[in-house]
Amino acid sequence: MQTLQRRAVGYVSLILFILTIPVGNWVVMNVGLVCPPDGPCLIPVWPGIMSPSAVLLAGLALILRDAVQSLIGKGWTIAAIAAGAFISGWLSEPAIVLGSTCAFLFSELADFAVYTPLRERHLSAAIILSGLAGSIVDSVIFLSLAFGSLDFVVGQVIGKFWMSLIAGAMILAWRRRGPLSAGMRTA
């Protein structure tokens, strides 16, 4: 039952991971406390620091990518990265297609490269550090290509890092108490 439950959670994570990117692309242009014309909608991520509103969804994507790899494997992870990049490029508004697709593809690959060697020995550290690497790559590429500016790069990185810290703590707690903990260690 544990293997079946682990795979089910993995497939749910896979679907959510793929969907975070098109949803994030819509959110960045439509949801926020401030939505300037010709720019991203913004939310606060630290006192005095704003970030495009989709920052939390981008951070969630980085976390879900790690869950997919842990629960159902590297092959599914690579397939999900490709599917997410394709959907992102196909559904995004023209102003953010290139930035979103490139940012998603390269940030997920950076996250994957950092997470993979660390996850067996230090899962929480792997989640946090891979999230940080992915968030920096994502932020620089997305903001420069989609909006021609790095004005919100600090806010982007801070917002995504919050998500990585929260996920690292949740996964650590989950591994210590949950029925899936054995599967997370061996995947």
Which of 174, 159, 183 minimizes the C-alpha distance to 60? 159
Which of 65, 178, 175 minimizes the C-alpha distance to 127? 65
How many CB atoms are located within 10 Å of the residue 90 CB? 10
Report the alpha-carbon distance of residue 95 to residue 5 in Å, rounded.
Answer: 40
Domains present along the chain, CATH in parentheses: 2-186 (1.10.1760)
Taking the whole predicted model, whether its pTM rises above 0.75 is answered as no
Under 8 Å CB-to-CB from 59, ≥6 apart: which residues?
Answer: 131, 135, 159, 160, 161, 162, 163, 164
pLDDT, tens digit (0-9, with 9 covering 90-100), for 130-150: 878 888 998 899 889 888 889
Distance, first Cα to last Cα, the chain? 15
Report the alpha-carbon distance of residue 38 to residue 50 in Å, rounded.
Answer: 16
pLDDT, tens digit (0-9, with 9 covering 90-100), for 42-99: 999 999 999 999 887 876 777 788 789 889 998 998 898 888 778 877 777 766 778 8
**DSSP character at residue 132:** H
Residue 187's pLDDT band, with cuts at 50, 70 and 90, is: very low
